[in-house]
Amino acid sequence: MNYFAHLHIASITKTSWVGNLLGDFPVDVGELDSDLLAGWRLHQQVDVMVDQHEASVLFRSMPRKGRRRFAGIVQDIVMDYWLIQNWKRFSAVPLTIFCEQAVLGLVKDKHRSPDRLRNMISSLENDNWLSNLGTLEGVEKAIHSIMRRWRYGEHLQYFLDDLPQVIAQAEAPFLALYPDLLDYVQDEMKKAEATHSLG
């Protein structure tokens, strides 16, 4: 899952908005405040669960131009697309309101964010583009952003060349995976609360 799904999970679990994004940014985990660390850990758990889910395995194995080994990167982005497309199924909060809440939550802890995340939060303050992640243009921009900063980014061009098909391929896997992910997150939070209460 990419930014949008991690922010949705932050809202559901009432954990740090920034903390839930930190898994996508270089940080010194030993220096994180406890609330940010909890969000970072949840991000890692989510990524592992998603990567191992049978729906993700299916998506990565589908025939397309892009190489299977890089399909997981694109999957994260197109899963955000389908979450936004199906938003009313997974949240009672209107999409525009949620996007505003997410940015306000991120801004609150911007001063505790690494530079690249701080810059991203500033860009959201100027233009809240979160809902654009649910558009073809938004998916293209997100993939281009990774291509610019990743040494193997050119390999993602094949996915861009076939993007409408890639997005369509992700719909069924998303609908199979995301409810399971939300159940998993709730279970993990219950386990964490039980451990904390035992002290």
Give the tens place of pLDDT for each residue, 99-151.
Answer: 999 999 999 999 999 999 999 999 999 999 999 999 999 999 999 999 998 88
* C-alpha count within 13 angstroms, C-beta hemisphere, residue 18: 27
Taking every pair of Cα atoms in the chain, the longest distance, rounded to a whole number of angstroms, is 53
What Cα–Cα distance (Å) separates residue 131 from each residue in 94, 98, 139? 11, 9, 11
Structure tokens at 164: 């409408």
Burial (Cβ within 10 Å: 0-12, 13-18, ≥19) of residue 21: buried
Q: So what's the pLDDT on residue 198?
A: 45
Pairwise CA distance, residues 159 & 167, whole Å: 10
Number of DSSP helices (H) and strands (E) in the chain, helices first: 10, 0
Residue 74, pLDDT above cutoff 50: yes
Q: What is the pLDDT of residues 83-112, one digit of tens each?
A: 999 999 999 999 999 999 999 999 999 999
Do residues 109 and 36 make contact, with C-beta atoms less than 8 angstroms apart? yes
Do residues 174 and 82 make contact, with C-beta atoms less than 8 angstroms apart? yes
Do residues 171 and 82 make contact, with C-beta atoms less than 8 angstroms apart? yes
Contacts of 127 (CB under 8 A, 6+ apart): none
Q: How confident is the model at residue 199 (pLDDT cuts 50, 70, 90)?
A: very low
Global model pTM greater than 0.85: yes
